[in-house]
């Protein structure tokens, strides 16, 4: 029997066409139509389509991600299902994929894919990306490896992948680790996988957990406006390895005294956020205050992880372990 793969569609560019009246791409393609457009799928797996939504991914929210995670988990629990493919818009694909990676226990393959060109384009990338994602989801060798992102002949771990270009079909990359594997026609080539943290499964997600992108000459009044929101948690996206203007220090102290968990991330695409610099506003100083580092996670993924961790109602030390647990680097002696 061929493997049975469920394709869960959520919308995005892959399910859009250009509307001349509105002068832009709009949702226009149903889930079954996406599959019908790829006849080669019949030779890979038996398919089932679940149309979860048909929205632009810039309308995606953590609450919708939680519902999506529960739908995918229910599908994976079926004995007749061998894997799941989720089609998704690329703007927030990395966040939804990472959410499911954090939420779902290890098991059958789950692959996210999408498109940078709408379905009516002269050379759409969506059909081939769907075909590649189904091939990966149908492979038993890809089980237990967490949620994967399959785009442009590459396989990426949801934890490390990010969108790097606004328009290129080669937009998704894992700046620190590189891709986990490549697809050559019907052959899947992968390197050894990294270990996965334990799943985080809250019943509800706290709000608000904003991301504050700092910049040179930031006005402290803006910081007070963020504090007035009474955030459940906060992601500070800073410079370099997690460094900030000096005005951040008293602001961070106040929020930490209020019991707010703060994560320091970086605006730099690759590398780890570490407490290295001890000057006023430097990462080392903030770490001493109690600010946690995001490690290899960018600000948007750090927010997803913090939402899930805070939803479980644990203390700051436990949350710190959630961020360090995903750090899979091993230092070698020289």
Burial 124-150 (b: 16+ CB within 10 A, else e): bbbbbbbbbbbbbbbbeebeebbbbbb
**Do strands 181-184 and 154-157 pair parallel, antiparallel, or not at all (unpaired)?**
antiparallel
Report helix, strand or coil for 136. Answer: helix
Tell which residue, 30, 63, 54, 102, has the closest CA to residue 301: 102
Q: Which ranges in 60-219 belong to alpha helices (H)?
A: 62-76, 93-103, 126-137
Sign of CA dihedral 88, 92, 93, 95: negative
Q: Identify the helix (H) or strand (E) that includes residue 265.
A: strand 261-266
Please say if 164 is a catalytic residue.
no
Q: How far is CA 64 from CA 20, 45, 92, 98, 150, in A?
A: 30, 28, 12, 13, 21
Backbone angles phi, psi at 49, to 5 degrees: -115, 130
Selecting among 9, 10, 13, 261, the annotated active-site residue is 13
Query: Token match 């771990």: residue?
Result: 157
With beta carbons less than 8 A apart as the criterion, state whether 96 and 12 touch.
no
Please give the positions annotated as active site.
13
């Amino acid at each position: 029997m061929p493997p049975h793969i469920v394709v869960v569609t959520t919308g995005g560019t892959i399910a859009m066409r250009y509307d001349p009246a509105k002068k832009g791409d709009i949702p226009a393609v149903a889930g079954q139509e996406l599959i019908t457009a790829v006849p080669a799928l019949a030779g890979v797996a038996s398919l089932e389509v679940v149309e979860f939504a048909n929205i632009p991914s810039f309308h995606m929210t953590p609450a919708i991600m939680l519902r999506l995670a529960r739908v995918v988990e229910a599908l994976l629990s079926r004995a007749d299902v061998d894997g799941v493919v989720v089609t998704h818009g690329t703007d927030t694909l990395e966040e939804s994929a990472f959410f499911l990676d954090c939420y779902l226990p290890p098991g059958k393959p789950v692959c996210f894919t999408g498109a940078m060109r709408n379905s009516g384009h002269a050379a759409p990338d969506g059909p081939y990306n769907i075909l590649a994602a189904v091939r990966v989801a149908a492979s038993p060798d890809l089980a237990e490896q967490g949620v994967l992102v399959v785009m442009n002949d590459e396989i990426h771990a949801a934890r490390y992948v990010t969108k790097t270009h606004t328009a290129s079909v080669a937009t998704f990359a894992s700046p620190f680790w590189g891709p986990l594997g490549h697809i050559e026609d019907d052959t899947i080539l992968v390197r050894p996988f990294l270990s996965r943290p334990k799943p985080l499964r809250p019943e509800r997600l706290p709000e608000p957990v904003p991301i504050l992108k700092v910049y040179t000459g930031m006005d402290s009044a803006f910081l007070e406006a963020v504090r007035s929101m009474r955030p459940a948690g906060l992601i500070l996206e800073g410079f370099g390895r997690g460094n900030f203007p000096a005005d951040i220090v008293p602001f961070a102290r106040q929020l930490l005294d209020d019991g707010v968990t703060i994560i320091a991330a970086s605006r730099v695409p690759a590398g780890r956020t570490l407490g290295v610099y001890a000057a006023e506003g430097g990462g080392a100083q903030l770490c001493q205050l109690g600010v946690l580092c995001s490690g290899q996670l960018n600000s948007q993924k750090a927010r997803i992880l913090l939402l899930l961790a805070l939803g479980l109602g644990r203390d700051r030390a436990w949350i710190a372990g959630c961020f360090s647990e995903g750090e899979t680097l091993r230092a070698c002696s020289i």
